[in-house]
Chains A and B, each alone.
Chain A
Amino acid sequence: MRNVAIIGVGYTPVFVSKRIDVSIAEMANEAANAVFRNTGLTIDQIDAVVQGNMQPFECVNLPYLWASEHIGAVGKPVMRIATGGTTGMTTLMCAYYHVASGLYDVVLAVTWEKHSDGDAQVGLAGIVTPEIFTMVMHGLDLITGRGMGGTSGGSTGAAAYQALSYLHHSGADPEHIDKMAALERSNAALNPYAHLRKKTTVEDIQATPFISWPLRYGHTCPTTDGATACIVASEEKVKELTDGNVAWIIGVGSCTSDPCTANFIEGQITDPAEQESCRIAAKKAYEMAGIEDPSKEFDMAELYDGFAHQSLMYAEKLGLCKEGEAHKLLDKGAFNIDGELPINASGGVFSTNAIGTSAMNRPCECALQIMGKIEGEHKIPKKIKKALAHGWGGLFQYNSVMVLSDTPKKSS
């Protein structure tokens, strides 16, 4: 298998609630243009294109064909990825597979979501439409959420079960979620490509209402319009096309469990906070990357946190600390930008969530930190040699993990 590096990243100029001035295709085009501008490459130098987003959010089912010209895919093989929240990382992994396999040398990955063209809550319901309608036919009270099967607060309501189970098993308090939320929102304030950019205190978070206890409005991600593009290349092409300042993808892993929420028809049997699939994905990625002790070897991590408790929970599942220790490290300041292990210096998905891009922005932020090309004050003030990126999605079931490094793997 060949070594593969991220050679450049391109974002839309902004990630905001509503881009009223561009269509979906034009927005994807902005990101593609940005990565060409940042790398100096042209469309002709791209061998293949992978595109990622989630179809139910905008009800556009073949966006990679509709926007083929806008993302530079004409005359090239193009593939579309949709794996829920993990879509972005799965898209980048697909581009990685193209190059690692030796089939292609330079591959463009483009991800986007334009939530304001649809309705995120309807889109999320679209993941389980047959199940929900079957339940409604059998007496589920969807509107009031009372009784059997009833749940409310939309996706936050579903995430609240996971959050409470995590708090119960880890010994963390709801106040730790407030603290993590305040840390990440304050990081986002430093990141020009973040959506919710406001320096935020724990008190600010605690002033927001509960949607579904233990989760507050201030623990919940926004819905964002934005696109991200990224170019990956083989080691030979890195030498030919770049000055060598790239970020190497040295380990990848992804894994699914059974659906552990909303699995009404066959019955849910797994704790949504167990996340065994995260451990399995991490084990695979760490073996590939030669990571022996994840709690010591990473200089930073970008974790997928649609809800603020997930940064703490996944830090544990990914082995960055022991079970039940993430909130203690948070209290010590270890996860701050200038801490021992900065987590979500970008502000995380929790501050910016254009879903198709969300899990690709994690490795892209790692790559930019490694390359020293961060625009904004969320640059981590130490040399980043190894970085961990994580994606989460599906029905609380799917996890993807990517290990990035400033040096390529030695050929075996």
Chain B
Amino acid sequence: MSQAEVLRRVSPLWTFGLLRSELVTTFRRWRTLALLGVLAAVPILVGIAVKLETQDGAGPGRGDGGGGPAFIAQITNNGLFLVFTALAATLPFFLPMAIGVVAGDAIAGEASSGTLRYLLVAPAGRTRLLLTKYATVMTFCLVATMVVALSALTVGALLFPLGDLTTISGTQISFADGLGRALLIALVVAASLIGVAALGLFVSTMTSSGIAAMATTVGLLITVQILDQIPQLHALQPYFFSHYWLSFADLMRDPVYWDDLVKNLGLQVLYAAVFGSAAWARFTAKDITA
């Protein structure tokens, strides 16, 4: 390679080269593909289950006044609701778990396989490498959410009728409007995972064992979800990253109820800032031995 080319790569554009190579590495892994496959299977399972259950004409969840994930009672009338149900079903556990695996692996995985030092050999700087890693994890958040949404939309369109839909406030909106809201909801769900991603990245800088980082992140996720259910912790719960996750359903109100959505996004940004900077502090100051 020529000297000129090396110089060019130090320009800001160079970060994109690093990002691209990170993205390719992440999405080429079997583990990542398997996670995405599991996520894509959830809407298929939900769709088929609802279809089978309602073949005799009865709506799902009628008997007990509507159990199960949000919007499940509406799926038979409009396949688009499968998107919302699938996101509501995967957001509490499947999605953040997948994020936890990818984020936990980001730094610790490199360290445990002995490649971290090679990544740091080039004039990248640790900060830039960390940012690239975080961008990769966030891209994965978006891709994972979109996989769920698109799989749900496909299954919903195949198994159930589509058309104008009724918002949960009882007003009617057109199918195009509904699709727009579905996209918005998918984006909000992806953004809801920013906090977990930052947390996972921070944990990942703490250890040089990829498995330990993943397990810790997923463990924290489960712990927080459980704590969020304990009424005595009422005062703390608004600060749990998962507390406002299901507020994405507020986008289906008419007019949209923004309060909790804004709180959710604000909270995610806060988590990203706190754990992102903690990850930076840890990663830029630590001895890289592997």
A binds B: no
Interface residue ranges, B against A (CB under 8 Å): none
